[in-house]
Amino acid sequence: MDAALHTVPDGPPVEVVDGPLRIRKRSVSEMDNNVFLLACVRTGLSLVVDAADDAPAIRALARDTAPLAVVQTHGHWDHVRAWAALVDDPGLEVWGHAGDLDRYPHAPDRLLDDGQHLAVGDLDVEVIHLPGHTEGSLLYLVHGATRPWLVTGDSLFPGGPGATFGDLAAHQRLMDGLERRVFDRLPDTTRVLPGHGDATTLGTERPHLDEWRARGW
């Protein structure tokens, strides 16, 4: 367990700062959904990751920052329950991938795709499209002063990739993407911020890649 980033459902948020990057995390609802705030220390500009639930709690998480938008990791119901409330006054835009349009409760204000870079003050947030858990699943990569930070939604957790609900082709696609786009590219120090539960690192998870591929989900 990463004590610095451990939260409990509907408990208080936690915060870490890594050079220009401020990260806040809060767990909402009975599903223990993580909502993250990626904020520029100097300018206060920020992104909220996932409109999971409890709009007042999400707005409180973004206190004293200027959110540019809510960016979705994917469109499963437990990650979008606060969408409508967050676009109400004072409104926030919600951005997501076209692959999950049939899952979103509303059309995104902006469509995101692989390789885009979102300028958030001094931060550069890279969008990584990694289908498998859903067709439109996105990861968000941002660099602090000491390490990369990767928000993975339900595509990667401590202990393995997200569920593909018995679809072996989707599982292979997800594993191929994780190995090629994440593990082959990023260092072991990369901190993984999943959609539920505690953080991990790529170094902790890397020895289990063959095991994950073999077990299928």
Question: What does the pLDDT average to over 78-97?
Answer: 94
Whether residue 217 is predicted with pLDDT greater than 80 in this model: the reply is: no
Q: Per mean pLDDT, which range of 41-55, 61-75, 76-90, 143-157 is the poorest?
A: 76-90
Question: What does the pLDDT average to over 160-169?
Answer: 96
The residues, ordered by sequence, that sit 6+ positions from 27 with a Cβ below 8 Å of its Cβ are: 7, 8, 9, 10, 11, 33, 34, 35
Q: Tell me what pLDDT residue 4 has.
A: 78
70: which strand partners? Answer: 48, 94
Q: What are phi and psi of 192, to 5 degrees?
A: -100, 125
CA gyration radius, the chain: 16
Q: Which helix (DSSP H) or strand (DSSP E) does residue 205 occupy?
A: helix 202-205
Whether residue 155 is predicted with pLDDT greater than 80 in this model: the reply is: yes
Total domains, the chain: 1
Whether residue 164 is predicted with pLDDT greater than 80 in this model: the reply is: yes
Exposure letters 161-192 (e unless 16+ CB within 10 A, then b): bbebeeeeebbebbbebbbebbbeeeeeebbb
Domain of residue 14 covers 3-215
Unique residue bearing structure tokens 């260092």: 187
Q: Tell me what pLDDT residue 1 has.
A: 53
Question: What does the pLDDT average to over 157-177?
Answer: 96
Q: Tell me what pLDDT residue 2 has.
A: 64
Q: Average pLDDT of the chain?
A: 96
**pLDDT tens-digit profile of 113-142?**
999 999 999 999 999 999 999 999 999 999
- CATH number of the domain that residue 165 is part of: 3.60.15.10
